[in-house]
Amino acid sequence: MTQTPLSERLRVVFAGPRNAGKSSLMNALFGKEAALVSDFPGTTTDPVTRAYEIPGLGPAAITDTPGIDDEGILGTQRVRLALSRSAEADVRVLVTPGYLPPREAELSLYSEWFEGESGGKSGGKPAILVLTHADEGVDNAKEAWAAAHGAVRTEAPSGRGVDSLIAALSACRPETEPTPLEGLVKEGDLVLLVTPIDLAAPAGRLIGPQVQTIRDALDRDAATLIVKERELRSFYSTLGRKPDLVVTDSQAFSKVAADIPEDAPLTSFSILFARKKGDLNRFLEGLAAASSCPEAPMVLILESCSHHRQADDIGTVKIPRLFRQLVRDDAEFSFLKGMPEMEVLQTFNLVIHCGACRLTRGKMQQRLDKLQDAGVPVTNYGLFLAWVNGLMPRALEPFDEAMQVWEQFAIAH
């Protein structure tokens, strides 16, 4: 991995009405044709995302979206897509033609992003107002917006004002997701990583969670020892010190736990990412629901990426098999890579989600919120596999807050 993956980049989304100049602004920002531009309303029909380095913030993914005032059957779908991308963004940029009075769709977005919370933040997320066509005068209402929120004024295609937009982006301080080992590892620690190389492993490289965990350990001035599960026992016996943390692939939980001493701190990559991308406590509540499923429960296996399924695929084969063997033998399973509509979602008794390594934290939080609205409990691959393999609460011991939640769960169940 030589570039920061999109799932780890700060998400910046440009939203606004058709012909506001969003695509022109994006092209001016990148100094090249990054998005298609024309005078015809609705030229941008799908979100366009490009990687960018924001001074002071680092790697970002900037997305140009369709107009929020689009019309017709397809237009309505495009608006829904634009608003969805905006909802999961870390930084939101409302792009509006300064010389035109506000339209209904703009008023709604402006109210949500800038008036709902003080300081130009919506839902705790920074929001920036950009007035385009600065050379054509400014409508009185838009001028009032600008006075209240220090709007950036730009011209296209000259690119005037782009430096001000970059400065505004650099000044943003969005909430960042925790790193895999945050709060778990310190300088001088030894981290032992168990990374099976099986049919599902990508040829010639490690998967994202493994790479990010290695890098995080190095950033924290900790040492790492990386072994496959078959060599774990022999290498462990040669260590001159006990590892401060052992992290394994969830599928090897049982073997790893059997091959290391009981007092060695143990968790999995999937559990690290349950905390990094989602909500570890919410997933534990879902695990409690799994332990008390009704008869013939409907279980949704929800993933976040497309991949070729192997004969012993974790989501479609291993988890359903273990669930039927150890939880309920009459469970029915469905498998999806994207969130279904609410009426479909509400037919399930439980969702078991993958590690979400290909999703941004914002996107995963959006999924969790939708599941909460639907009243459907959710847990995570790693937590489920630790539980059915009898490794709870051991797999949670590195996480103090999660252990407190587990104690409540253990008492209740």
pLDDT-derived band at 38 (thresholds 50, 70, 90) equals: very low
pLDDT digits (tens, 9 = 90+) for 339-383: 899 999 999 999 999 988 888 888 898 899 999 999 999 999 999
Task: Determine, yes or no, domain membership for 185.
Answer: no
Answer whether residue 19 is part of any domain: yes
Is residue 69 assigned to a domain? yes
Do the domain assignments include residue 105? yes
Asked if residue 91 is part of any domain, the answer here is: yes
If pLDDT is split at 50, 70 and 90, which confidence band does 201 have? low
**Which CATH number do you get for residue 98?**
3.40.50.300
Residue 64 and residue 125 in one domain: yes
Confidence (pLDDT) at 321 = 95
* pLDDT tens string 277-333: 989 999 999 999 998 889 999 999 998 875 555 666 888 899 999 999 999 999 999
Give me the domain span that covers residue 18.
6-171
Q: Looking at the domain assignment, is residue 346 inside a domain?
A: yes
Residue 40 phi/psi, 5° resolution? -80, 125
Q: Are residues 109 and 154 in the same domain?
A: yes
User: Please, what is the average pLDDT of the chain?
Assistant: 86
| Residue 187 burial (CB count, 10 A) | 7
CATH number, position 248: 3.40.50.11420
pLDDT score at 2: 53
Residue 409 predicted with pLDDT over 90 = no
pLDDT for res 13: 93
Look at residue 36 and tell me whether its pLDDT is greater than 60: no
**Bigger pLDDT: 24 vs 271:** 271
373 and 232 fall within a common domain = no
The domain boundary, picked from 203, 238, 271, lies at 271
29 and 78 share a domain?
yes
Whether 176 is covered by a domain: the verdict is no
- How many domains are contained in the chain? 3
pLDDT in tens, 135-194: 888 899 999 999 998 899 988 667 788 899 999 998 887 777 789 999 999 999 999 999
**Do 320 and 392 lie in a common domain?**
yes
Q: Do 42 and 158 lie in a common domain?
A: yes
Tens of pLDDT, residue by residue over 62-102, are: 999 999 988 888 888 989 889 888 888 889 999 999 999 99
Q: What is the model's pLDDT at position 199?
A: 54
**Reported pTM:** 0.76
Q: Which residue has the higher pLDDT, 388 or 313?
A: 388
Do the domain assignments include residue 180?
no
